[in-house]
Amino acid sequence: MYNKCFIILTLMTLVFIISCKNNPTDSENVAPKASFTINPTSGTNLTAFIFDASGSSDSEDETSVLKVRWDWNNDGAWDTDYSTTKIATHQYTVAGTYTIVLEVEDSEYLTNSTTKTLNVSIVNTAPTASFTVSPTSGTVDTVFDFDARGSNDNEDETSVLQVRWDWNNDGTFDTNYNTTKITTHQYTIAGTYTIVLEVRDSEGWTHSTTKIVTVQRPSTVITFSDDNFEALIRVTLNKQVDDITDLDLENITSLNGGGWNISNIFGIEYCINLQKLDLRDNQIIDINQLSSLKHLQTLTLSNNQISDIGALNNLLNLQVLGLSGNQIIDVGPLSGLTNLNLLYLDNNQIININLLSTLINLKELGLADNQIVDIFSLIQNGGIDSGDNVYLTNNPLSETSINTYIPQLEARGVTVIF
């Protein structure tokens, strides 16, 4: 009986030991399971593919703990570092069939990998044209440098792209297509030019862009005949020492030289962009140089020694003209200046004002202190009406002018001072 019990106890002990070996209390760590999806499953070089490894799992670790890394083309080199972020994006630039590798690592550094494939095709896009110009302005002696190396394309290397140039935007390209991106050009005529660059890729897609360069003629040094006038120009330009050129004078739009004791204005003809000129209270006799100043809108020459105003006949943009206190007899050259609003001819030697009948936009007319007898031309000028002012004091006006014409003007709402 004792022996039987001992045998049974021994057998039970062996079963227990074997059972413990086959069912350990501390389980061994199991590698994670890698799994991912791709969205979309195929696309083009413009597609941003989304890779989602959220479906990966592990027997011991939560998915959030697992680390992942990616190899986008199965070349044996991991393109990302390990990260617990399960979603990644990638875009392919070259067509082909790609094998993507996902590797998952758990907290015990056990790993598991899986792969998927996707197909990428190419959607060709037009290149982007871009270039620089150096310098951006110059003269007809300047050699301009043009550099189109900043052009690019999603599919082609810049070196493959072809370029051609139109130097003056006339619709005709001045060069043929070639892959040389740097070139030069020189203009022979002053002006503002729009340059067109067209870039073409290997599929024939094109794109154009433009830039502007300003080309000036070579400058000419100007020598003035009047020291006081030169001093005025230097003050205006803030250029006290260096030579003054015609290009300098073209930058002047306003010149205020009243009372500078100027007698000769040679050189002013180069101030072709002048809009406002005041040379009152000087000793100027000759104003022929003003004939080229087509942009003048306001001109004041009062109290000089001017008798001939023929140079003004083509200054059609004039709106304000002051010629009081000179030696003017003939006002005929003013007859075409129909944009004049304010005209001051006081204190001259004017007798005949017939040709002023054409100045229909006058709002104020100063004719005091002259030798005017007949003002019928002011009646003929239908533009002189309500709210306008006419000054006729100290003129030998005829009785008809005083008793007939002035009342008629006043009846039109004109204020007449006589």
Q: What is the pLDDT of residues 47-84, one digit of tens each?
A: 999 999 999 999 999 999 999 999 999 999 999 999 99
Domain span including residue 171? 132-216
Which CATH number covers residue 397? 3.80.10.10
Q: Is residue 366 assigned to a domain?
A: yes
pLDDT tops 60 at residue 14: no
CB neighbour list of residue 160: distance below 8 Å, 6 or more residues apart: 153, 179, 201, 202
CB neighbour list of residue 99: distance below 8 Å, 6 or more residues apart: 73, 74, 115, 116, 117
* Domain C-terminal end among 183, 216, 249: 216
With a pLDDT cut of 70, the percent of the chain lying above it is 94
The whole-number pLDDT of residue 380 equals: 97
Do residues 317 and 296 make contact, with C-beta atoms less than 8 angstroms apart? yes
pLDDT band with cut points at 50, 70 and 90 for residue 218: confident
Same domain? 83 vs 232: no
pLDDT tops 60 at residue 19: no
pLDDT band with cut points at 50, 70 and 90 for residue 10: very low
pLDDT 10s digits, 174-211: 999 999 999 999 999 999 999 999 999 999 999 999 99
The whole-number pLDDT of residue 7 equals: 44
Which CATH number covers residue 136? 2.60.40.10
The whole-number pLDDT of residue 23 equals: 47
Do residues 262 and 240 make contact, with C-beta atoms less than 8 angstroms apart? no
What does the alpha-carbon distance between residue 316 and residue 313 come to, in Å, rounded to a whole number?
7
The whole-number pLDDT of residue 40 equals: 97
Q: Is residue 375 assigned to a domain?
A: yes
pLDDT band with cut points at 50, 70 and 90 for residue 20: very low
Tokens of 44: 């083009």
pLDDT 10s digits, 276-294: 999 999 999 999 999 999 9
What does the alpha-carbon distance between residue 59 and residue 80 come to, in Å, rounded to a whole number?
25
pLDDT 10s digits, 151-164: 999 889 999 999 99
Instruction: Give CA separation, 114 vs 51, 78, 79, 109, 117, in Å.
Output: 13, 14, 15, 16, 11
Amino acid at 78: W
Same domain? 248 vs 382: yes
Q: What three-state secondary structure class fits 231?
A: helix
* Domain C-terminal end among 67, 92, 123: 123
* Domain C-terminal end among 95, 123, 151: 123
The whole-number pLDDT of residue 27 equals: 63
Same domain? 58 vs 146: no
Q: Which of 173-182, 217-226, 382-391 has the lowest average pLDDT?
A: 217-226
pLDDT band with cut points at 50, 70 and 90 for residue 2: very low
Answering whether pTM is above 0.85, one says no
What does the alpha-carbon distance between residue 17 and residue 139 come to, in Å, rounded to a whole number?
104
The structural domain count of the chain equals 3
The whole-number pLDDT of residue 16 equals: 43
What does the alpha-carbon distance between residue 307 and residue 3 come to, in Å, rounded to a whole number?
158
